[in-house]
Copies of this chain bind each other. A is one copy, B any other.
Amino acid sequence: MAELTLAAIDQAALQARAIRADCGAVIVFLGTTRDHHDGRRVLQLAYEAYESMALEALARLEREACERFEVSHCEVTHRLGEVPPTEASVVVVVSAAHRGAAYEASRWVMDELKARVPIWKRERFEDGNSQWVDGTPLR
């Protein structure tokens, strides 16, 4: 089930729900915070969301992934608030009988998430400045 969380993402729980006896492939995608952007050192990322609409959009991505690809299970959790470097801001877990569909669905979910979910990322730099990351028009 799609989730937004202020705490660290519980990857183990996501993965436990995805592993099924009829599936041969599980793909876990973790989007992690990088410590540099355009040559500047990033101390922290922070995310905010229009939560009700973002949750609905994530749930729709999960459903569409199962309709468009031969996958049995798709679940997305996005973290909000401050995310320190190397921690995951988003985790997508997909399971399928065969790996080809699992790779395609996972990639599709991440591509769509970047354009269809009202979430915004702000970078805080070592020099004290911070800025909203250039985004994609919501569709």
Q: Which stretch, A2-10, A18-26, A54-62, A63-71, touches the partner chain B?
A: A18-26
Q: Mark A82-105, 1 if CB is under 8 A from B, else 0.
A: 000110100000000101100100
Instruction: Tell me the bound Cα distance from A27 to B25 in angstroms.
Output: 13
Contact between A19 and B86 (Cβ–Cβ < 8 Å)?
A: yes
Contact between B29 and A34 (Cβ–Cβ < 8 Å)?
A: no
Q: A36: CB under 8 A from chain B?
A: yes
- Chain A, interface residues (CB within 8 Å), range: 20 to 34
Give chain B nearest CB distance to A115 CB in angstroms: 14
Q: A28: CB under 8 A from chain B?
A: yes
Contact between A23 and B32 (Cβ–Cβ < 8 Å)?
A: yes
